[in-house]
Structure 1
Amino acid sequence: MLNWLSRDNFDFPPLDKALHEPNGLLAAGGDLDPRRLIQAYRHGCFPWYQDGQPILWWSPDPRTVLFPDELHVSRSLAKCLRQQRYRISIDQAFEQVIHGCAGPRDYADGTWITTPMQKAYCELHRMGVAHSVEAWDGNELVGGLYGLAIGRLFFGESMFSRADNASKVAFVTLVQRLKTAGFELIDCQMPTQHLHSFGARAISRREFAAYLRRHLDQTPLQDWTSQADQPSLA
């Protein structure tokens, strides 16, 4: 039976109450108050819904994650990185990045990054919780990604690209930066071939919850706003 959230209650049901079909649907309702969103990620769930639907909260089992030490960079992408075609920055254009992520895709109708979602995550960015990585070609934003950093875990949300490999370069830059800062894992939420090509893999919901317990309250990375360095690959 699906759990419905009220607007005045920020408590989520236990993760083991999530439905098996559809996989991981934990609750519905509530709102996108930044406090609720932070509580959701700390609890192990995230919002994902379409316009016209109630807010749906998910905790899939298994969970797709990327351990920074397991990052795989293809030969072609490594060559692109060495060419330094794109300038990479962090937290310089969050609203532009999330707007780009919400744009139309060839493989999907509509977007789950609704206008209320964009407003909520922009507020999380102003609070210092949500962060973006940008790829620039001159003064043009050609790719990027955004997500949340809590403790020593990064919760990836979405990426977009308007030029070859732009979002991939941004992603590799992020992963290497997180590795240097001692982050344990990047939550990728759902499996895709694109993420698996970087080395992402599935772990059980129980194992994912254990990482939450161990690392959410560790000292967070403080210096997000400095200019990002291009990854150094041999």
Structure 2
Amino acid sequence: MISYITKSCLDDELTINYICNNKKSNYYYSDDFSIDFYIKAAYEGFVSISFEQDNLFVILPEMQFDYAVLFFDNLHISKKVEKLLRKNDYEFKVHENYEKIIDKINEYHGDSWIVKEYKQTLLNLKNYKGNIDFELLACSIEDKNTKKIIAGEIGYKVGTVYTSLSGFSSKERRFNNYGKLQLVLLAKYLEESGFSFWNLGHPYMKYKFDLGATLYKREDFLNIFREQRDKKI
């Protein structure tokens, strides 16, 4: 059973405390794709995806049980990525061409959830003006010669915390490990820009721990997240 959630729920401290302390539930659902709902959910520590079934399309804010967190002092760079760094045949970019990166993600992932109203919500975030320090971020690696996008991702900042949403990397053999290169370059960019840590989301993928991430339980994650969500870079 997944409970319905509204913006008023997110604005109610007692409801938020209940959700954070409810260790039996992690997903909630809503039909509110407004940027105000999305940003408030992100501010409270939810990571939102979308879901479609029987012609019903909803947003699924998740208060995860566990999180993979990267503190930049723990960043690990493999020998293969070090070799690519020296090769220097790429260009790393952080930009606002959100739609281009989203389209690449959807092209790569046949079951991508960044579609329909969810995609439009992300694009609408460009126009956000409010009290929460929120910003959508997109990054990519391009082949220096062909300008072809090899890898990239989209995510957002709340205060001094960056949270990943989804990403992609080329399946061409000659671009092996460029997805890992993109992660390392993004980590370096975030550190140099003054971010406190990187929320890599679910801790179920090995590459996150190969990168240097640490496993945090919900309560511990929310403690460090709340310390940083109102700070400025």
TM-score bracket relative to the smaller structure: 0.7 to 0.9
Which residue in the other structure is 2:216 paired with? 203
Following the alignment from structure 1 to structure 2, what is the Cα–Cα distance between the partners of residues 214 and 92?
A: 27
Query: Paired residue for 2:65?
Result: 61
**What is the aligned partner in structure 2 of residue 123 from structure 1?**
124
Match of 2:26 in 1: 24
**Equivalent residues of 1:86, 1:166 under 8 A apart:** no
Q: Distance in 1 between matches of 2:214 and 2:9?
A: 33
Task: Confirm or deny: 8 A CA contact 2:97 2:138 kept in the other structure.
Answer: yes
1:132 to 2:138 alignment: yes
Indicate if the aligned counterparts of 1:44 and 1:209 stay in contact, CA closer than 8 A.
yes
For the Cα contact (< 8 Å) 1:135–1:143, is it kept in 2? yes
Q: Give the counterpart of 2:97 among 93, 98, 107.
A: 93
CA contact (8 A) 1:3 1:28 kept: yes
Cα distance, 1:201 vs. partner?
A: 2.1
Deviations 1:18-65 (A, max 9, x none): 453xx622x211412111111111101122232225322211122221
Paired positions, count: 214
1:114-141 alpha-carbon deviations (Å, 9 max, x no partner):
2222211122245471011111113211
Displacement of 1:10 in angstroms is: 4.7
Q: Show the 5 A alignment for 1:38-187.
A: 38-52=39-53, 53-91=57-95, 93-105=97-109, 110-127=111-128, 129-137=135-143, 138-162=146-170, 163-187=175-199
Normalization by structure 1: what TM-score? 0.82
For 1:42 and 1:88, the matched residues in 2 are separated by 28
More helix by share: 2
What is the distance in 1 between the residues matched to 2:184 and 2:148? Answer: 20
Larger deviation, residues 72-81 vs 85-94:
85-94
TM-score (norm 2): 0.82
- Residue aligned with 1:102, SS: helix
Secondary structure of residue in 2 paired with 1:132: strand
Mapped partners of 1:92, 1:2: distance in 2: 34
* 1:124-161 deviations in Å (ceiling 9; x for gaps): 24547101111111321121111101211001111111
**Hey, what's the Cα distance between the residues in 1 that align with 2:70 and 2:189?**
14
Letter in structure 1 aligned against 2:159: G
Check the 8 A contact 1:134/1:143 in 2, yes or no: yes
Shift of 1:182: 2.6
Match of 2:131 in 1: none
Cα distance in 2 for residues equivalent to 1:5 and 1:49: 14
SS of the residue corresponding to residue 80 of structure 1 reads helix
1:125 to 1:199, Cα distance in 2 relative to 1, 3 A = farther
Identity %: 21
What CA distance in whole angstroms lies between the structure 2 residues aligned with 1:3 and 1:205? 19
CA distance in 1, matches of 2:8, 2:159: 26
Contact 1:145 1:167 in 2 (8 A): no
